[in-house]
Amino acid sequence: MSARVFAAVEIDGKGIENSIEATHRASAGHGLSQTVKWIRREVLPQPLKVRLVGKTVAVAPIVGLFSALAGASFSVEGIVSFDPQPGGFYVVNGELGKEGSSVWIEDALTNKPVTEKVFAK
């Protein structure tokens, strides 16, 4: 009853609309029904500093509490340098788990990372 969501939450120090917040808003007040919302945005082809977050997003706060108590809630966050290319299409991806969590930006066509990976501390 949770989703693993990876998102860009800041660009060059400025907060942006993101998939984590959009998922919370879309699911609020719907009991145990969760709607994951993916936010897309265009960025200029110039070097950027991007704060990435990967986390387990619970369907409801009580579910999140029990997931955390059971050791099934994970998160990772950090800033990466990103140099998007003209015409490029990118996604934020990652891994969440007991063995470790990480998040990065990858090329959507090749599935290859285009930034360093941020690991949970």
Which residue ranges make up each domain of the chain?
2-119
Local confidence pLDDT in tens for the 121 residues of the chain: 567 889 999 999 999 998 877 876 776 666 666 677 788 999 999 999 999 999 887 554 544 454 555 555 688 999 999 999 999 999 999 999 988 999 999 999 999 999 999 999 6
- 60-91 pLDDT tens trace: 454 445 455 555 568 899 999 999 999 999 99
Stated pTM of the model: 0.83
- How would DSSP label each residue in the chain? -EEEEEEEEEETTEE---HHHHHHHHHTTSTT------------SS-EEEEEEEEEEESSHHHHHHHHHTT---EEEEEEEE-PPTT--EEEEEE-STT--EEEEEETTT--BSSPPEE--
